[in-house]
């Protein structure tokens, strides 16, 4: 099974992270912003106009954020490269899709790390099964990621991760 790209590529996204999530000024964001609203620092090229100064301007949350590749997957795969600027009616659909796919991509990152551990065969199999369940075949809609099998695998991740504790190295 081939995992989707799990590293963000902002050049192939429509700045969905700058729209999808609300900003709280007291939570590492330099302003208050509602969900599904473009950040006022977003340029017409989908780039941040203050990117080089995010930390000094109070946007540590932006610096720490990663979509784990979900943004470009939503833009390029689910929406065929169309953007909310091309068609403003797409905005709530694209941001919704990001909010659905990002936790799945984060779970796949965790499973990728787990697969590198020296696990017994039963846990290796469980890890591979969870990853496969999080990767619907040929998805073309956010609904493919809201299927029960995908959401059940996502919900099973915390218990699976807890079962890995005896096999994780303590770093010492």
Q: Around Cβ 15, how many Cβ atoms within 10 Å?
A: 21
Burial of 11 (0-12, 13-18, 19+ CB in 10 A): exposed
Q: What tens digit of pLDDT does each residue of 25-36 get?
A: 777 888 889 999
Q: What tens digit of pLDDT does each residue of 119-160 get?
A: 999 999 999 999 999 999 999 999 999 999 999 999 999 999
What confidence category does residue 170 fall into, taking pLDDT thresholds of 50, 70 and 90? low
What number of H helices and E strands is found in the chain? 6, 0
Residue 1 pLDDT > 90: no
Token readout for 13 is 């996204």
Determine the pLDDT at residue 149: 97
Determine the pLDDT at residue 53: 93
Q: What tens digit of pLDDT does each residue of 64-108 get?
A: 999 999 999 999 999 999 999 999 999 999 999 999 999 999 999
Q: List 23's β-bridge partners, or say none.
A: 33
Rg of the chain in Å (alpha carbons) = 18
Residue 60 pLDDT > 70: yes
Whole-prediction pTM: 0.92
Q: List 42's β-bridge partners, or say none.
A: 48
Q: Which residues contact 86 (CB under 8 A, 6 or more apart)?
A: none
Whose tokens are 């996204």? That residue is: 13
What confidence category does residue 172 fall into, taking pLDDT thresholds of 50, 70 and 90? very low
Indicate the helix (H) or strand (E) that contains 155.
helix 148-163
Q: How far apart are CA 125 and CA 121, in angstroms?
A: 6
Indicate the helix (H) or strand (E) that contains 13.
none
Residue 23 pLDDT > 90: no
Q: Around Cβ 158, how many Cβ atoms within 10 Å?
A: 11
């Amino acid at each position: 099974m081939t995992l989707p790209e799990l590293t963000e590529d902002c050049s192939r996204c429509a700045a969905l992270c700058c729209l999808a999530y609300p900003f709280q000024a007291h939570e590492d964001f330099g302003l208050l912003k509602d969900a599904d609203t473009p950040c006022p620092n977003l340029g017409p090229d989908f780039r941040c106009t203050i990117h080089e100064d995010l930390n000094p301007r109070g946007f540590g949350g932006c610096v720490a954020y990663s979509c784990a590749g979900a943004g470009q997957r939503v833009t390029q795969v689910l929406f065929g490269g169309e953007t909310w600027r091309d068609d403003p009616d797409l905005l709530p659909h694209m941001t919704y899709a990001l909010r659905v796919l990002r936790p799945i991509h984060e779970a796949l990152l965790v499973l990728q790390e787990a697969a590198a551990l020296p696990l017994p065969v039963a846990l290796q199999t469980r890890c591979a099964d969870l990853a496969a369940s999080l990767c619907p075949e040929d998805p073309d809609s956010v609904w493919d990621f809201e299927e029960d099998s995908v959401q059940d695998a996502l919900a099973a991740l915390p218990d699976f991760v807890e079962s890995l504790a005896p096999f994780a190295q303590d770093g010492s």
